[in-house]
Amino acid sequence: MTRRIRGHAAGPHSLTRRKLLATGAALGAGTALGSAAPAAARARTAAGPGRTVFRLPDGFRPGCVGDGRFNLLYFGSLHDGSVHRIDPATGEGTPVHQGTGGPAVALQVNWQTSLFIAGGVSGELRVIEGSTGAVRGIYPLGGTGAYASDLIGLGAGHYVTDAARPCVHLLPYGPFGSLPPPPGGIVTLPLTGEWVQGDGPTATGITYADDGGLIVLNSAAGALYRVDPKTGDAVHVPHHGPSLCGADGLRTLGGRLYVVRPERNAVDVLRLDPATGSTTVGRLTDPDLDVPGKPAVDWSRTQLCVPNTRRGTPPTPTTSYTALSLPVGGQNGPGPAGGTMPAS
């Protein structure tokens, strides 16, 4: 799935080493734990209209989910970058990749069923073969202090946001979807124009816009930007509604933009308009949400699938983890099912 956006006034600053390490600790704490148990997981349909709870292996620590062919869902671990696949039709879970040690902060699946994983504080983009779990390539984003925070496939390749620096990285496709030989091949586009770099984690979400460009979330400023995928030029998108400060992760579905709010245990629902900007039109909530991570689409139900990262709960090899598939309503906005309520 792929598309794009625009940004705010310049003045980029480098993220301090202290803040970068704090970000890594928040997203990658618990890396000393043993590997997550590879036991199969089954989904259960919980009370509530249309929503589903997927059980993940104990100790897995999901941070993200990606949707692939045959409606399959792929979950990435903040612990060690392992990947666990679930068939949402049956709830059957299968370990796909044992991880390389670095976290999986965001995950996308392309048409070849290759898994593209943003590695957070590891500062790298990893590409995994979805059917075998084999590593196709590891691509450092370049320079010191990079933080690979989110990614999206769009036209020329996969774009990765850097939460620590004012830039977006591109891993371009070659003929027939081939990839450049690692570790080279990454193209870095500085975020220019109206982009404003914060002194904390800044570019924490990316998705596509209907005009073929990129939408980038600036968590520090609580703002959205339309970014030219060829130049990195950013144009600020006016926002009407609650501040987006602290948001982490974007997803486009059914004419709406879904913005993950970990600090509120919710997902804000936005409408984008070329003339007026973005407007908050609702909020997805659920009693079982527990610090949501990067989302994907559960195409078997056309719902939003959100992993529970459970940040704040001490991670152990026996800590239980789940993900939720939540109803999003019709094209004109979320309906009352699945714990949807007006944003405050």
Question: What is the reported pLDDT for 125?
Answer: 97
Residue 338: strand, helix, or coil: helix
Tell me whether residue 90 is exposed, middle or buried, using C-beta atoms within 10 angstroms of its C-beta: 0 to 12, 13 to 18, 19 or more.
exposed
Contact present, 292 and 265 (Cβ < 8 Å): yes
Task: Provide the 10 A C-beta neighbour count for residue 189.
Answer: 18
Strands (E), 110-147: 114-118, 124-129, 135-140
Q: Is residue 190 a contact partner of residue 167, using CB atoms and an 8 Å limit?
A: yes
Residue 306 burial (CB count, 10 A): 30
Q: What is the CATH number of domain 17-31+39-341?
A: 2.130.10.10
| Residue 142: predicted pLDDT | 84
pLDDT, residue 15, reads 36
CB contact at 8 A, 327 and 286: no
In three-state secondary structure terms, 9 is coil
The amino acid that residue 145 corresponds to is G
- Report the run of H or E that residue 21 belongs to, with start and end: helix 17-28
Strand partners, 84: 75, 95
Q: pLDDT tens string for the chain (344 positions)? A: 333 333 333 333 333 334 443 444 444 433 333 333 334 445 544 435 689 999 999 999 999 999 998 999 999 999 999 999 999 999 999 999 999 889 999 999 998 889 999 999 999 999 999 989 999 999 999 878 899 999 999 988 999 999 999 999 999 999 888 999 999 999 999 999 999 999 889 999 999 987 888 999 999 999 999 999 999 999 999 999 999 999 999 999 988 999 999 999 999 999 999 889 999 999 999 999 999 999 999 999 999 999 999 999 999 999 999 999 999 964 334 443 343 333 33
Give the Cα separation of 272 and 320 in Å (integer): 36
- pLDDT value at residue 293: 97
